[in-house]
Structure 1
């Protein structure tokens, strides 16, 4: 049995991305609830950062709580996964607003290349997601160096962590898939498979030290 921390990105007043009145935070919560159920059904212990929209701590508080649990081994986490959805848009010079880039799509895992464990976790998940027939972007993996910025969820937490961008809400086909129950089950199953592949190669809970 592994100890896994899951996070439904955003929440509360922070909606995350919004497209066609669909709020990212709501999709994230749906997927996180399904991942929690799947992992528990496989015998793992799961602690999640929010169960609804009214109990969503700010990101900084989430990181501190995770680290406190990890340090005190209540429990020590084997890994952390944060679930998100994406949008692709650029500024329209005609009106200064944003114009969607509907051709952009695909799943990818953001990781810290400074951490071999974070890298291995991202690779395991990306491989299983690809095997499930899900379209990938960036080959399924993108380091925070390639992203061009640090992410608190990855760089300010102690256990190995990844942030999963599950798909683009601005791509009509992918948005429909993200809301489809069969697709949700397929993607969640693949993510869980990837987590278990990573966990099978770990002996004890890991701690990541960022340079």
Structure 2
């Protein structure tokens, strides 16, 4: 058994990205609740930063609460997983945002200073690619990137990864992010990647 902290990115007043009347915070919560459920079924202990869209602490407060819990409790968190969705758009000459619809893909982001974070990010991205969840639909290969200024992976004590599940500005990926079967497959691949990391 391992101990994880999950985070459904944004929430409350912070909607995160928004596109075509879809709010990122809502998709993040859907995936995170499924992630929590499957991790528990696999025998892991899970704490989460939010279970709904009410009374959501801001990002830095969440980081502080996680660090306090990690420092004061045993067993410690083995890792933190923060769930997000992405957008790719530019502002045209009229000031309107236009989608870069061709941009798509899954990203697992970690801190340069965290070897464990790197290993976890690689394990998850490899499993998502292995399952063909992204590439099967013509998408970009799952990639692992270094986070440069993301508070979530730099201001928390346990190893942390931030997962960008897909692009809301890509019509096909947005459709898939709402598809219940796709959600289950994505979450299963993420948890398989987490288990592979834990088993070493």
TM-score, length of structure 2 as denominator length: 0.95
Aligned residue pair count: 196
The match for 2:183 is 184
Deviation (angstroms), 1:182: 0.4
**For the residues of structure 1 that align with 2:143 and 2:22, how far apart are their CA atoms?**
24
1:74-131 alpha-carbon deviations (Å, 9 max, x no partner): 54100000000000001212x0221110000010101112211111010000000001
Q: Is the counterpart of residue 143 in structure 1 residue 142 in structure 2?
A: no
Instruction: For 1:101 and 1:76, locate their aligned partners in 2 and report how far apart those are by CA, in whole Å.
Output: 41
Superposed CA deviations along residues 17-39 of structure 1, whole A, max 9, x for unmatched, are: 11110100000000000000000
Aligned counterpart, 2:151:
152
Gaps of 5+ in 2: none
Q: Secondary structure at the match of 2:53?
A: coil
CA contact (8 A) 1:134 1:187 kept: yes
The offset of 1:150, in angstroms, is: 1.2
Q: Report the equivalent of 2:102.
A: 103
Listed as ranges, the matches of 1:1-211 within 5 Å are: 1-93=1-93, 95-135=94-134, 137=140, 139-144=142-147, 149-201=148-200
Runs in 1 of length 4+ with deviation above 3 angstroms? 136-139
1:55 Cα offset (Å)? 2.7
Alpha-carbon distance in structure 2 between the residues aligned to 1:74 and 1:152: 24
TM (norm. structure 1) is 0.90
The whole-number CA distance in structure 1 between the counterparts of 2:185 and 2:19 is 23
Would the alpha carbon gap of residues 137 and 56 (structure 1) be closer, same or farther in structure 2, given more than 3 Å must change?
farther
Report the equivalent of 1:207: none
SS of corresponding position for 1:150 = coil
- Check the 8 A contact 1:108/1:137 in 2, yes or no: no
Q: Cα offset for 1:13?
A: 0.3
Listed as ranges, the gaps of 5+ residues in structure 1 are 202-211
For 1:139 and 1:40, locate their aligned partners in 2 and report how far apart those are by CA, in whole Å. 25
CA distance in 2, matches of 1:111, 1:137: 19
Q: Label 1:67 to 1:196 Cα distance change in 2 as closer, same or farther (>3 A).
A: same
Q: Secondary structure at the match of 2:65?
A: helix
